[in-house]
Structure 1
């Protein structure tokens, strides 16, 4: 008797881990160990569910200055990631780069993990099983990204395509923290069936529009940025793509991580002080930038700094300090 043939592809996703040797001043736990534990929970899910791949949608690190991420931190990450039974694909987030420049990757901690193959730099990969294929495409963080310029590979004979991006996205287009927020309807104009999104720390859930899915589950970390809600519950996502007699079906759901309540990991008074200080710094930097640019014919802070008579190293640090101070990206 003829028997139907079913093939499943399983992926576990995460984003915005923001690990560092030392956490925000208001954290009273061991921030690094807490984040390593969350990665371990992701690893357990991957191994127990026999995932075909793990996907990280940017911002593994919190600090953009490579000198502030220790060799010990990288070694601990390598030790943890090596215990995954599946390949781990990742795109670069803005916090993984100096001054948001992809050219800085070779000097970054993430560049080390890509170089030794602990993580696989995602651009285009194809997962094949039982003669069926799934395409996975990665788009690293890009300032002011023009979606029409993206060259997304065609699906060809793949049953489905996943696109991993690091950008703000939601139900309606607009702006968020002075950055463009892309509407799901804009992303849906592209060919992928599933979009795995990083950058937005607040949980936007898993959303379906027509035949497109958007995985936008928020950051794995809590309280790293001033605008983060301490009520946010970190999670990872489960994606199953099934094909049976050439009919493709999808199952997507969030998996909540085991975490401690916020009062056990945050000094709430210090947290309020941090937020107040950040707002004061933001105001000061914006005023400084505004007054500096007003004296220049160039109205872009990036362009203005690029024309200063300083070395590239100093220029990168200037941009880093501005971005860290404003905590806008």
Structure 2
């Protein structure tokens, strides 16, 4: 049995601000390539780890364009709902979303309660977990029981599963997962972590099929899908999309560079002020307050200076 995994397609009709190409056309080309890879690799089932859409209610005209591509897949597609697929990140709203429409039409198959997929006498237990606010609170969303009569258990979840911590909270570390699953597939974390193994379980996240930001890691990342082959053992490989252009060709970093320039100038200014005296504060407003106090500056002058600082920050977008 062979399974193809993709995630976070974020279908939308408009182009994100950091992209310089036609996002919709690019994504259609990628989904067509995924179909070709699936046929070439003789894939039996396709799994999508959530965030099929970028919002729960895209325009019907946009959905129709992608419906033509997805309905042409000769291979069943199984999905879980991501946070962008739902209203208010609430799985109970699924029936009112465009993802719900594709599921009800039979183009996509929803995974909730465990189902068994069979190929050449091999039995795969497939279960899924949609995104919700509690998905990464205690690790329980990753815990499943494996049925005795199956060969492998695969659990797919749209959660912030990480191989190492990047945030203060709101994630689950692979090393903290206790489960009977042989394979856990996750989406949500766009950069992905490839394949990891811990306590006999393989963890797979190929990363988002699209690049939505101009972060340097996204620029250097080539979108890919994962191919999982199940036989006497589990084998995982990755296929990079040839239709995905280099990040530098489709992502614009000018806005990010401008923001970093403003941050550097502010840091330089703060350091200059600090060098002139013993200051305990780091914000411009606090520094101004202390300078005004030290130099006995008139309150009206101080008020005008603060007013101009606020106007400048507003103009720079709050930087």
- TM-score strictly above 0.5: yes
Call closer, same or farther: CA 1:219–1:276 in 2, change over 3 Å: farther
Q: Distance in 2 between matches of 1:57 and 1:137?
A: 11
- Mapping of 1:305-316 within 5 angstroms? none
Runs of 5+ in structure 1 lacking a partner?
1-8, 243-247, 278-329
Say what the alpha-carbon RMSD is for the aligned residues.
Answer: 2.4
Partner of 2:26: 34
Residue of 104, 127, 133 corresponding to 2:117 = 127
State TM-score, norm by structure 1: 0.72
Q: 2:70 matched to 1:81?
A: yes
Call closer, same or farther: CA 1:271–1:149 in 2, change over 3 Å: closer
Residue 126 of structure 1: CA displacement?
1.2
Call closer, same or farther: CA 1:130–1:267 in 2, change over 3 Å: closer
Partner of 1:254: 238
User: Secondary structure of the residue that 2:210 maps to in structure 1?
Assistant: coil
Residue 107 of structure 1: CA displacement?
1.8
The structure with the larger Rg is 2
Q: 2:7 matched to 1:19?
A: no
- CA deviation string 1:251-293 (max 9, x = no partner): 101111121122322333246569999xxxxxxxxxxxxxxxx
Q: 2:134 matched to 1:180?
A: no
Q: 2:130 matched to 1:140?
A: yes
Q: Is the 8 A contact 1:39 1:80 kept in 2?
A: yes
Q: Is the 8 A contact 1:201 1:228 kept in 2?
A: no
Q: Distance in 2 between matches of 1:93 and 1:227?
A: 25
Residue 81 of structure 1: CA displacement?
1.2
User: Secondary structure of the residue that 2:36 maps to in structure 1?
Assistant: helix
Residue of 104, 107, 110 corresponding to 1:115 = 104
User: Secondary structure of the residue that 2:184 maps to in structure 1?
Assistant: strand
Q: 2:200 matched to 1:200?
A: no
Q: Is the 8 A contact 1:55 1:90 kept in 2?
A: yes
Q: 2:221 matched to 1:232?
A: yes
Q: Is the 8 A contact 1:26 1:274 kept in 2?
A: no
Relative to total residues, which structure has the larger strand share, 1 or 2? Answer: 1
Partner of 2:308: none
Call closer, same or farther: CA 1:175–1:26 in 2, change over 3 Å: closer
Partner of 1:220: 209
Residue 142 of structure 1: CA displacement?
1.9
Q: Is the 8 A contact 2:145 2:181 kept in 1?
A: no
Q: Distance in 1 between matches of 2:149 and 2:93?
A: 35
Partner of 1:264: 249
